[in-house]
Structure 1
Amino acid sequence: MHLKKYTDYALRVLMFAGSKEDGALANKKEISEVFHISENHLGKIIHELSRLGLIETIRGRAGGIRLAEEPKDINIGSVVRAMEDNFHLLECFDCGSDYCVLTPACRLKRALHEALAAFFQVLDSYTLADLLDNRGELQKLMGLA
């Protein structure tokens, strides 16, 4: 399975915002420079994270973004589910495009369903706070300290 860059970047935005000092705003330009992501693409990700209620955006010259919830309340599995549009590991996962002749007797699909469930079980056990428990080190790497 391969997560989209969109999901990866969304998680990075959350980690960046969560690494800022309490109440400090992050801005699109600094996130773009740290992660080498176009500001235009970042704008779409920020919009989606805001729509999901994970970050709040403050407009204006001194504006920016910050987490809308405490890091301990942001579940990583939920973020990944919200950012990805499907988890069709094989064509048989999508009833509309399943043309495999093996589907009626295939055990691979069941095994992959179990693997996907295990994947999310692990992600569901993490919060953004868990990803930020080395905040000082992250701040240095992102030029925030």
Structure 2
Amino acid sequence: MRHSKAEQHGPTDFERPLADRGHRDAAEAGAWLASIGVEPDHALVSAALRTQETWASVSDGAGWTLEPDLDRGLYAAGPETTIDLVRLVPEDATCVVVVGHNPTMAYLAQMLDDGTGDPDAVAAMATDFPTSAVAVFSYDGDWSSLGVAGARLDAFHVGRG
């Protein structure tokens, strides 16, 4: 997931908060995720303020109480490094949510897609990956083995509240 709409200014880029719209959009994305049966047991979230606030609003919208794994490295990570971070999630995790920044999240979603998923989701994701965009993948394997073209895109949604 890409973080939701943030304010244009903050003390630093890392400390930019979500805009009111961002909170609404993230809550809607969370409600949508819950409606399709997504229930994560691990969340990898950039430590930037806007991604933390996105996770909090997504969780509220979905009714989840999961505490995120905040990672400062995810703030500036490229797609390859982000895959490396996902490879480090606990082996017993069955559903992982990653909340990060663009362009990394858009590139990561394109890299993970094995081309066998839902054609409408593939087409929607290929045209844009705006704030509050969520790509839902299926992956059958150990997280440590996740690689390029290693997951099937099942759904794509842009939260708009």
Q: TM-score range by the shorter chain?
A: 0.3 to 0.5
TM-score (norm 1): 0.32
- The structure with the largest alpha-carbon Rg is 1
Q: Which has the higher strand share?
A: 2
Q: Which has the higher helix share?
A: 1
